[in-house]
Amino acid sequence: MTIHYTVTERDIINFNLYHMNHSTVNRILNIFIGLLPAFLFIKGFIQSPPEFDNAVDNIMSYAILVLVIVLFSLLFYFGNKHLNIFIIKMQLKAGKKNDFIGEHTLTLYEDVLEENNVVMSTRMVYSAI
């Protein structure tokens, strides 16, 4: 049986983004880096809280603190996604992932799986998989 398929640049980007979003290590790293400024701001407010004469100023300062934490976390998440897309596109331009892009032919034999594209050919025995 022979299967013909095409892999595009967008397919490579979507695969890498999916992998980055579902990788356990990447999730932990994103949570840690995204929440690090929140912990630093809160630590700073606990160690030296602002001394205002009225409650409105205190409420405003804490509201600004929460707003900064939320905005930084969102900016980090979406900025990280766009940075990853940029890195993948630069790798594609440099030719590092070009062997994945283009027409592919997957041929299934009784005991062998063979994949061919313009750049390379891969042959695997089912027992090795």
In terms of Cα–Cα distance, which of 82, 80, 88, 85 is closest to 26?
80
- More confident position, 20 or 129: 20
pLDDT band for 3, please (50, 70, 90 cuts): very high
Pairing relationship of beta strands 112-117 and 102-108 according to DSSP bridges: antiparallel
Q: For the chain, what is the mean pLDDT?
A: 82
pLDDT in tens, 66-87: 788 788 777 777 777 888 889 8
Model confidence pTM above 0.85: no
Four-point Cα dihedral 65, 68, 72, 73, nearest 10: 50
